[in-house]
Each structure stands twice: as C-alpha cells, then as structure tokens.
Homo-oligomer: A and B are copies of this chain.
Amino acid sequence: VNELGRRERKKRETREALAAAALRLAVERGVENVSVEDISEAADVSVRTFFNYFSHKEYAILGRDPDAGERLLRRLREAPAELSPLAALRSAIEESLDDLERDAVAWSQRAALVAESPMLLARLVMAGADDERRLAAVLAERMGVDADDPAGRLTPLLLAAASGCAIRVALEHRGTTNDARPLRALVHEALDQLATGLDHGNPQGGVVRPEQRDQA
C-alpha cells in the first residue's frame, strides 16, 4: 500500500508539473508557440513520458486529468441509492468544484487562453463532450435505463449536459457580472433551478399547462 501510495503521489506530481509548465509557457508565448517538446523539457521529463499523461499539448495546458473524471464517475456510482439522479450528480461534482476554486488563478489564465486559441477551445469542447457521454452512461445505469430502450437515454444525456451547462453558466456569470458570490454558490443556484424547473413566472410554478404548451 505504501509503495502504491508513493507511486500514485509521484504520478500526480509529474502530471501537475507538466500541466503547470504547459500553462506557464502558453501564457508567456501563446498557445501556438508552445510544443510538447518545450513542455516536456520545462518539466524535465521525456516526450514519451509527456504522452503517458496527456494525449495533446492542449490537454496539458487545460490541466485535464482523466483520473479526476474517473473519480467523479465512481462517486456517482457509489452515491446513496435514495438520492435522485440529479442529487447524486450534485454530490459527485463537489470535488470538481473544489478543484475549480482551489486553482482559480490557473482557471482564469486558461479561460483567457481559450478565448484566444480556437484549437484550445475545440479541445476543451471535445473533452467536455467525452465527459458528458461517459457521465450520461453512468447516469443511465443508475436510473436503470434499459440498453434496448433508445428513448430512455434522452433523460440521462440531458441530465449530464444540463449539469455541465450549470457549471459553464456559473463561470460565465461570474466572469461577466460583478456578482460577488463564490462559484460554488452560483453552481448550486443553477442546479437548484434545474432541479425545480425553469418555467419561472408560470403561475402554476414549474408545471407547463397543456393550453400553454399549445400556444408555444
């Protein structure tokens, strides 16, 4: 166990050193002017080692950690059975919110780089789409959706997409208003609204009346 713990810790340290070097170099030179070779050299590892941790230089700059994704899926699988799918998802993303808050400076640097680099934006979106698909699959399991029931797969996909949407909206809201609430509070407010329904101002409070749906 000690040996395993040491190996895990070293692995995490190497990943963090590569991600930190990649972000620093991209901030200094621009995303397009940084290569995998540059990042590997700055973190004092071989190019081959780099690719053990990240499949693309953009994922290093974004600090994408596949282990963090796996941990989220595991927490979702292990969340108490009495929680609704959304409540289980909400509890599972707490650690991701910790990461976002702890690395706030790195995340704001990444956001600035993404605004400048279409390739970085594309990789961010592709990674998000992958995460969403895997999240939807675990939610479908949790909800007992039959593999032969294509219609039943819409709800877990929507849940996965909407929770990603809540995080993105919270980040965008914080970046474009002077709302002083912490990111975590904004994400939870968005998730509360998704949980209880977005049909605000409807006199029946969250329920779409059939005659209203016909008008729409």
A196 touching B208 in the complex, CB below 8 Å, given contacts A201-B85, A216-B91? yes
Please report which residues of chain A, range 14-60, place their CB below 8 angstroms from some CB of chain B when the two chains form the complex. Answer: none
In the complex, A104 has a CB within 8 A of chain B: no
Across the interface, name the chain B residue whose C-beta is closest to A212. Answer: B87
Contact B90 A216 (CB under 8 A): yes
Contact A87 B199 (CB under 8 A): yes
* Stretch of A3-11, A65-73, A105-113, A176-184 at the chain-chain interface: A176-184
Chain B nearest CB from A147 CB (Å) reads 11
Q: How large, as a class, is the contact surface on chain A? A: 35 or more
Contact A215 B118 (CB under 8 A): no
In the complex, A84 has a CB within 8 A of chain B: yes
In the complex, A121 has a CB within 8 A of chain B: yes
Chain B nearest CB from A154 CB (Å) reads 5
Q: Which residues of B contact A84 (CB under 8 A)?
A: 199-202, 212
A199 contacts which of B86, B118, B153, B158 (Cβ < 8 Å)? B86
Q: Beyond A192-B213, A195-B198: 16 further Cβ-contacts under 8 Å? A: A86-B202, A87-B212, A87-B213, A119-B122, A121-B122, A121-B126, A122-B125, A125-B125, A154-B169, A158-B165, A158-B193, A195-B199, A195-B208, A196-B199, A196-B206, A206-B206
The 10 A-B pairs of least Cβ separation, nearest first, read A118-B122, A197-B197, A150-B177, A150-B179, A84-B202, A195-B199, A90-B216, A91-B216, A121-B122, A122-B122
